[in-house]
Amino acid sequence: MSFQKRLASHEFAVLAEIHTPKGINISRLINDARRLKGRIDAVIVPDMENGIMRMSALAGGVLLQQQGVETIMHMYCRDRNRMALQGDALAAHVLGIQNIIVADSADMSESDHSDAQAVSDLNETDLIKALKTLQKGKDLSGFDLDGAPDFTIGCTLAPFSSDQELNQALEQARAKIEAGARYIITPPVFDIASCLPALEKIKTLGVPVIATVFLLKSLAIAQYIANSEPGANITDELIRRIRKSSDREQEGIAIAGENIIALKDKVQGVVIQTLGWEHKLPEILDVAGI
């Protein structure tokens, strides 16, 4: 079943992120995706996430489509102006990609090319509107297209560490949904029980909510996120669980898998983020019974 159909039928969707290489060696990308074939609904290909220059998501997405893996491509506004964004969207459609997530991007100062000039010609809501405009057979200047693309567009919810920030993030999300986003991806959720009230609030947006399950690769990463992102919901108990484990790597995999199970009847789907440990995705799915 395609991701679009799964969304429409309100069935639980399982997605996973796979990053493109920083270089031209695509063997890991292809192998990691192949191992997921038939087990998940679609692979999300982020585009230069966290400001790291990599092979473009468009190329990565097309490579995965060629492997018979449904792809959801990230698009963001920092590095491309409205012409380049529209051109890439048209290219994505003809190359077989019909799912786009309009994502946030790290500030250029946090990127590995901090001396580059940011573009930010459009914002996320503008880009969603632009994609919808293309779907109507027009470009942003009102000129007719020779054939209109079709996309299922998703958006992301900004990270939040308080009710006030959540309300603000929801306000921004509403604008994106009004512009045409059909589902929303949450920031990583770690402690499901304490996240539930926020998830309920997010559901009031009226579109399918897909929660992000983040693989905690090590105790250090868990502690880092707990300290640097107060809204991330990494509890002391979770930190203790990883610390006490004789195999911390395996513990992180177990936590991710268990969280997927816990989220099954709470949200419309999950996206598993492993940030470079895509080869661990099958093990997470094993734990989750997928």
Partner 1 sequence: MITAERKPLEELIEYIKPYKRILLLGCNECVTVCAAGGRKEVGLLASGLQMAMLKNGKNIEIQQHTLERQCDPEYVEELVQMIDGADAVMSMACGCGVQQVAMRYKDKPVFPAVNTKFMGASERQGVWAERCQGCGNCLLGATGGICPIARCAKQLMNGPCGGSVTGHCEISEDVDCAWQLIWDRLKALGQTERYLEIMPAKDWRPAGGSGPRKIIREDLAE
Binding site for partner 1 (CB under 8 A): 107-109, 114-118
Shortest Å, Cβ 179 to partner 1: 25
Minimum CB distance to partner 1, residue 79 (Å): 12
**Alpha carbon distance 172, 195 (integer Å):** 20
- Minimum CB distance to partner 1 smaller for 95 or for 119: 119
Nearer to partner 1, 104 or 283 (CB): 104
If the CB atoms of residues 116 and 261 are measured against partner 1, the closer one turns out to be 116
Pairing of strands 42-45, 71-75: parallel
Specify the residue, 108 or 175, whose C-beta has the smaller distance to partner 1.
108
Q: Could you tell me the smallest distance in angstroms from the CB atom of residue 234 to partner 1?
A: 28
Number of helices (H), then strands (E), in the chain? 11, 8
Min dist CB 77 to partner 1, Å, is: 15
Q: How far is the CB of 76 from partner 1 (least distance, A)?
A: 16
DSSP H helical ranges for 136-204: 163-179, 192-203
Six-digit token string for 87: 């051109």
Query: CA separation (Å) from 247 to 146, 213, 241, 253?
Result: 57, 20, 11, 10
Q: How many CA atoms does the CB half-sphere of 146 hold within 13 Å? A: 0
- As a whole number of angstroms, the distance between CA 52 and CA 108 comes to 10
Q: Is 229 helix (H, G, I), strand (E, B) or coil?
A: coil
Of 25 and 117, which CB lies nearer to partner 1 in the complex structure? 117
